[in-house]
Structure 1
């Protein structure tokens, strides 16, 4: 880190929590809309008469575009700055969600989902870059956890409130209001971010000067680092788990367990409550107890996620489990699954030069979003052909443990160089 960055980091540390809360509002805007719409999928499914696999395509279309341009989005954020990235991301998501509310067919909604993913692709590298540029290295995992964790409140509100509102007034008016709120949050970030951040476009450009070589050369340099590539492979597992759960949990509770869309939304909301607690917790745990051993922390979370998914497949899916216990298990699943991203992004951005935090995030997102794009329709297809989600949960449990396990073996050199 340059002396300029050190000065900025020290200065912005005084602003600490207010800055992190402002950064978190970008995620609040995005997740309230995206996860809120997914939580209302039983209502959307009833209107359009779509199957589980077709419903799973929503997450795939949304993340397909985000995956395609992830690296370029990271580069854009490195150039335009974190504040502009968050403003553009929130505003574009809000506009697309307003259009969701007036879409005539589910096919048109899938098209809007594709465009929405482009907007979201700017938010993650913008948030991560803002934290990396403004927080001291010894506090980054915990601070990243706060930014992502507080941002998870958007998903909580979206999954617990929007479905209940949707049952009363319809999902379309709800999405119109949520989309307008995202646009307003983008404006709020634009107005307030500069008051607390010590990093300006001038100092960001100074940091960019630390990164030498071409765009493709920067990517190649990152991928040539075994520690970076290992983390990215582990990110594939994270993408599989988060997309499978968020894309299908409401349908699982509604169709397999017989709960109403509102109660299914509460179950999914508990997942996000667990994530809000998990992100800062696992960040601090890794900073303190794991002493910064990021990969070991990621593998621990993968194993715990696999165990919880197995419980859903072997116990919950069979029926007979009470609603309070389901909510508790959902929260525990969120504590592990959603506890991963802050640690994941801290890992990859610390390995990269500070001026390449956006590109590093973009490359990492490509890996995680491959899992996000592929997993939901497969998870739903397995449920369609078996008639229930039990087998889907078991397959998920195996995938999220085996993939990180192979990555850890490869990093240690036991599976070849």
Structure 2
């Protein structure tokens, strides 16, 4: 009896063919979860009037989403290593649709909070699911590029929501807009299930390819610029390398500043330089559009062999420059610095997750990518939940955003330090492996 090649994961999901249709499904899987967040934010005036709540209470809804995602991330990441890709797509798309439907008919504030709790897990499993599909379906040399595209789905969702929710709300109100977004999610689910093969199809394909020998997607040794060179212990199916926790720490610190800026940039621009509500929203949209392009670019840098630590050092330094621009805009009332800060925000910190997720694939065995992605998601969503809460609290305590920007700067300094630690960690000699006698 022929023993299976240990370099080839037993899970037949790895046989899924890389295609443009599959890449579109992954992009949508990343973008559909935030539909609830963005819909609530864009429709804030309608929801506040409909439920009779304050702006602070509405902001808490978004924090509950991210807290729910952070709490469920580790469990869902481990679950992603055991569930089929199609079942995970159902959790993502149908879970988002359920949250939108519950939110659409929320007659009381607590119902909207309950919808936020439901929206969290759908976002938490999106990274483990998409990473798992990529590591099994895409050749190693193309993975970082695919990650750059699929991570840009979050910014694509931001753009879609900014156009869809206001337009439909003017016609059908918040309830109609939320129900319409739920239908979009279900339509994308149907398309995704049509693209991703069934388990029976995957098993048949795996049997055919097993008879013809290993394919070109076999595990490859670490290249000089590969993040595996930054983990002296290398990939292991038995445990998660320390690099996973370093990446999760960077995700938390960068996520703190990223989401605080996303939430409060419009209000800051209105208070600091007198932007209108529309122009403040445009500033956020500008960073989102730039973020779509930058995420693809950072992914290509990873594909070109640049070390993850090098890119994260560049991102951290650029993000600090963006915070400096916002601080200066507030001190000197210069609108041009708002645009500069928004551009730097989009170019730098919005691309951090691309580098982190691509780095994870280089240091984690395919069988554990879901668990590793879950840990990273826990860090990221914890930062997402804390950032807006701290920024808003400091704004209420001090009357402006200056202290909040300084706190964000400290977080980016922490990112820079963790990137240096990642680089130093990679220079350690590998620990000897003890094999049983």
Give the TM-score of the pair, scaled to structure 1.
Answer: 0.83
Alpha-carbon offset, residue 277 of structure 1:
0.5
Q: Are 1:34 and 2:5 matched, yes or no?
A: no
1:221 to 230, 239, 261: 239
Question: Does the Cα contact within 8 Å between 1:8 and 1:199 map onto a contact in 2?
Answer: yes
For residues 10-40 of structure 1, give each alpha carbon's deviation from its aligned partner in whole angstroms, at most 9, with x where no partner exists. 9824x3x332112212223223342232233
Corresponding position of 2:351? 339
Alpha-carbon offset, residue 116 of structure 1:
0.8
Structure-to-structure mapping, 1:374-389, within 5 angstroms: 374-389=386-401
2:7 to 2, 14, 17: 2
Higher mean alpha-carbon deviation, 20-29 vs 405-414, is at 405-414
Q: 1:186 to 1:131 in 2, by over 3 A?
A: same
Question: Does the Cα contact within 8 Å between 1:294 and 1:343 map onto a contact in 2?
Answer: yes
Corresponding position of 1:271? 287
> 2: distance between equivalents of 1:136 and 1:252?
44
Larger Rg: 2
> 1: distance between equivalents of 2:421 and 2:151?
29
SS at match of 2:106: coil
Alpha-carbon offset, residue 381 of structure 1:
0.7
SS at match of 2:239: helix
Q: How many residues align?
A: 395
SS at match of 1:79: coil
Corresponding position of 2:365? 353
Specify every segment of 5 or more residues in structure 1 that has no aligned partner in the other structure, as ranges.
211-217
Corresponding position of 2:84? 81
Specify every segment of 5 or more residues in structure 2 that has no aligned partner in the other structure, as ranges.
1-5, 211-218, 220-235, 430-437
Q: 1:150 to 1:119 in 2, by over 3 A?
A: closer
Structure-to-structure mapping, 1:170-209, within 5 angstroms: 170-194=173-197
Corresponding position of 1:367? 379
> 1: distance between equivalents of 2:167 and 2:405?
26
Q: 1:39 to 1:389 in 2, by over 3 A?
A: farther
> 2: distance between equivalents of 1:340 and 1:57?
25
Question: Does the Cα contact within 8 Å between 1:382 and 1:392 map onto a contact in 2?
Answer: yes
Q: Are 1:295 and 2:309 matched, yes or no?
A: yes
Structure-to-structure mapping, 1:18-167, within 5 angstroms: 18-45=21-48, 53-163=56-166, 165-166=168-169
SS at match of 2:179: helix
Corresponding position of 2:322? 308
Q: 1:337 to 1:163 in 2, by over 3 A?
A: farther
Q: If each structure's helix is expressed as a fraction of its own residues, which one has the higher value?
A: 1
Give the TM-score of the pair, scaled to structure 2.
Answer: 0.79
